[in-house]
Amino acid sequence: MKNSLPILALALTLILSSCVSKKKYQETLSNYNFQDSVRTQKEMALEAMSKENKKAKFKNQELEKELYELKTAYDKLNQQSTQSEANYTAQIKATQAELDNKKKILEAFAEELEERENKVKELNSALAYQDSVSKALLSTIERALINFGKDELTVEQRDGKVYVSLSEQLLFQSGSATVNNKGRKALLNLAEVLNEEKEITAMIEGHTDNVPIRTSRYQDNWDLSVIRATEVVRILVWGGKVDPSQLIAAGRGSHLPVASNATREGKKLNRRTEIILTPKLDEIFSLLNKK
């Protein structure tokens, strides 16, 4: 019994000792498992974070690339916009300059047109005045020559001028350039009008028919028509005291007929002396030459 107690005590001690070691072992084992679990979670978290960081870096790279592309596109558009704006501004300036130039041209044209219109008005006024003078002159001459018949002379107004047509039978014998008495009287009556109207120019034109003439004095119809016109001028100047500067002598021969030379009556009408009275045209010529 006494020998069994130490053995029992030893066994108990071993058992207790064995119990304590197992507990500590379980605790140690449990502690190790926890630490290992925590470490594993951290590693997993780190790994997950590393993956997320990689994704974030990749996404950041993609965003930076997109930003670069957007910035490049923006710069290009901005440059194009600036160039377009410069081109548009230049185009506006060019268009404005063209408009200003056309405006100047239009203003100059309007001014020139106004000047022309004023010139036309002045010219029409001068022509109207000339026409009124011609009508008054026509009336005066008709009164001065009222004692002569229509078969001897005619008076008419054309183109602002007065035409006095004196027949051959009133002034001359056939083939002669000597003015007879009745014709001389008509010319002196006309001279009175010219002396009153110093602004009148008179052209005396001799005319013949187409029958050729050749005598010791006249070589042809030209010669006869000129000499007849000159004889009329001499009577107006020497007998009527008309200022020679108002008179012009001309011969037309047979080249300006008023009727057909195929008939006797036509030839009679063509053998005439015309005195063409023209009011002074200095004012009209001045207007025409005005710039």
- pLDDT, tens digit, for every residue of 165-199? 999 999 999 889 999 999 999 999 999 999 998 88
| 232 residue type, one letter | V
What's the pLDDT at 58?
80
Mean pLDDT by 10 residues, the chain (291 residues): 55 52 64 66 73 79 82 82 82 86 85 79 74 86 92 91 94 92 96 92 96 89 96 97 96 96 96 92 55 54
Task: Tokens for 131, please give them.
Answer: 């026409």
The verdict on pTM exceeding 0.75 is no
What's the pLDDT at 28?
65
Nearest C-alpha neighbor of 205 from the set 183, 188, 227: 227
The CATH architecture one would assign to domain 125-289 is 2-Layer Sandwich (3.30)
Domain boundaries, the chain: 125-289
What's the pLDDT at 119?
73
Chain centre to alpha carbon of residue 22: 122
What's the pLDDT at 227?
96
What's the pLDDT at 281?
63
What's the pLDDT at 164?
96
d(CA 255, CA 138): 27
- Reduced to 3 states (helix: H, G, I; strand: E, B; else coil), residue 273 is strand
